[in-house]
Amino acid sequence: MNKSFAIILMSFLLLLSCASKQEMETADTDQAAVEHVEEAKAQLAATPNTDLYSNGQTKLIKTANYRFEVANVMKSAEEIELAIRKYPAYISASDRRLENPILENKMTIRVRNEFFQDLLKEIDQQAKFINYRDIKTEDVAKQFVDLESRLKTKREIEARYIEIVRKKAGTIEELLNAEEQIGELQEEIEATISRINYLKVEVSYSTIKLEFYQTISQEVAVAHETPKSKQFGEALQSGWNGVVMVALALTYLWPWLVLAGLSVVAYRYLRKKKVMTTSV
């Protein structure tokens, strides 16, 4: 009896020990899971999404329209070009013109999508006064899905027509029709692929359309204002030039002037002689 009791007691203690050990393992597993979740949250907080215009999952085409006044157009253009060189970006169009009193520079910049905000921040430093700064995004994820679905369908249909032609199954008219359909499908497939590639480029690069200008009316007035002393000197020079031109012209005409003078003297002499003859 005592031996049986001892066996039962030992079994009970063994079960109790196993249960306690299992509970400890479960608690350790739960604690590890909690720590893992907390660590994941910490990592997420440490590396937030820096792109304010995307959640990192959509396919966006970004466009910024930006107009602002600067202190000096030439200097700001140089600074912006230096900023562009820091990133995978390039100028796709540029135009500078003076329409008094505004000197304006227009630029169209293409920059890799992930550096869109960084480049904008550097451009912001040139703004003296902002007229507008519009940023628009277009989600083309649905277009990608639609185009890829159409592409898959067209390729499946093309494969069926190719199989018909390969096996020469059907009449001559049906085979000719199949070949015609294959040609049309190939053109549509190429157009769809081109559209997909275009969208990929548009999503990869963002567009920044810049217009920055400088009001230069005062600078132009100062630059073109002529001092009175200089005006007096220019007047004297112009007058002397006129005298020289007249003298030069007379020099070219002196034979004709002498001939004209002699003609007048001869005319008067002959007229006087005629009058004297008539009187006698």
pLDDT tens string 39-54: 544 544 444 555 655 5
pLDDT number for residue 266: 73
pLDDT number for residue 252: 65
Its pTM stands at 0.51
Q: If pLDDT is split at 50, 70 and 90, which confidence band does 33 have?
A: very low
Highest mean pLDDT out of 2-6, 132-136, 275-279: 132-136
pLDDT higher than threshold 90 for residue 133: yes
For 214-271, write each residue's pLDDT tens digit: 998 654 444 444 565 666 667 677 766 767 676 666 676 667 667 777 777 777 767 7
Poorest-pLDDT segment among 44-48, 74-78, 180-184, 201-205:
44-48
Poorest-pLDDT segment among 26-30, 125-129, 275-279:
26-30
pLDDT number for residue 127: 93
- Which contacts (CB < 8 Å, 24+ apart) does range 142-149 have? 143/199, 144/59, 144/196, 144/199, 147/192, 147/195, 147/196, 147/199, 148/196
Buried b (16+ CB within 10 A) or exposed e, 140-154: beeebeebeeebeeb
Domain ranges of the chain: 1-48, 53-230
152 vs 165 pLDDT, higher one: 152
